[in-house]
Amino acid sequence: MDLLNTLVDKGLRRELPTRDEALAVLATSDDDLLDVVAAAGKVRRHWFGRRVKLNYLVNLKSGLCPEDCSYCSQRLGSEAGILKYTWLKPDEASKAAAAGLAGGAKRVCLVASGRGPTDRDVDRVAGTIKAIKDQNENVEVCACLGLLSDGQAERLREAGADAYNHNLNTSEATYGDITTTHTYADRVDTVQKAHAAGLSACSGLIAGMGESDEDLVDVVFSLRELDPDSVPVNFLIPFEGTPLAKEWNLTPQRCLRILAMVRFVCPDAEVRIAGGREVHLRTMQPLALNIANSIFLGDYLTSEGQAGRADLEMIADAGFEVEGAGEVTLPQHRADVAAAAAGGCGSHAEAGCGSHAEAGCGTGCGSVCGSHEPAAVPEANEPRTDLVAVRRRGAGTDLAPNA
């Protein structure tokens, strides 16, 4: 297919595709899907080899958010039965992070619900970063705390943060349809603040909220312009008790096309499969590793993910390898730029977090876990509510995390 040959050539040269080319990827047929994955895989392997970076989320503060983001189980007015707790103490957060690091993660993403941190909150997170780094010398830490005020990104960097995550989520044209308590411009401003402070910028999107192909291309092109080191791709989990609970718009095939489009537009950035991979990619997750070079290990913020052991087995069975702590994630040209921006201090050459707080079944076997009854085979495109499970373990609980 001429389109795919063109996109591979452009990806190897870091050349931006045209909008029409990006839209054409999303419009490809199921008959051409494996060709699309193979083409995106050539670009992925050129820049990242067969390495898969593992990231681990720690939810520092769950629920209680004053923002009205329609996709989020922690939003103002959410009726989702999620865990709700205020700030974890530094030793509690460090203990939670240790589980993910023991499971193979090289980056810990510290996330807190809310509009944005107060200066006191930044001090709290600084203490948590220190506690984690004191226990784990080579760990990378990303903060994800909402909208940043002037000077806060610099303070986080001084505290030892390597990266900051703040997603654009959807196109500027449709942003007001999912959130009214802040603007798209607010989000862009925070990503720019992080970048300017020498933090590795991480920003991505959420697919499956009823957006058009044009909206998806718009947000990914906007991300390319912002030039984050990492682009997390979330797939909406329609959590009961949120306004988007009935939005089941994704199939595994569409998810793969979206990932491929992101890879072609952002060829040398870390593309991370974030929240929702278990729910929407399901058994096609290993195929997605040919496109993306990064995933989250285990559970997410408010929902359960695939068991950590299953993640590691999936990576090995698909012929990939877990990226080691001593390996640099980004291609050299991008790592050099990041290091220069950070003044040569620390490891600011990597990526951030970027889950929208959702995910799927933590056991990998749907709602029939523990049962000897055969599972019913779901119809194609049927909503898989059986794969949505609220997190009841790990941070904020007395139960061991899933890592």
CB 382 within 8 A of CB 327: no
Residues with active-site annotation: 65, 69, 72, 109, 142, 202, 272
DSSP per-residue codes, 252-272: HHHHHHHHHHHHHHSTTSEEE
Please provide the DSSP assignment of 357-395 as one string.
Answer: S----SSSSGGGTT--SPPPPPPTT---GGG--B--SST
Gap between the Cα atoms of 18 and 220, Å rounded = 12
Which positions ≥6 away from 21 have C-beta within 8 Å? 3, 6, 7, 264
Tell me the C-alpha to C-alpha distance, in Å, between residue 95 and each of 100, 112, 138: 9, 17, 16
- What is the three-class DSSP state of 171? coil
Q: Is 228 exposed, middle or buried (CB count within 10 Å of its CB: 0-12, 13-18, 19+)?
A: buried
State the Cα–Cα distance between residues 91 and 131, nearest whole angstrom: 7
Instruction: Give the 3-state secondary structure of residue 235.
Output: strand
Torsion angle, alpha carbons of 307, 312, 318, 324, to 10: 150
**Cβ–Cβ contacts within 10 Å for residue 35, how many?**
14
Alpha-carbon distance of 86 to 296, in angstroms, equals 23
Grouping H, G, I as helix, E, B as strand and the rest as coil, residue 199 is coil
Q: Are 25 and 260 in contact (CB under 8 A)?
A: yes
Burial-class residue 138 by CB neighbours within 10 Å (0-12, 13-18, 19+).
exposed
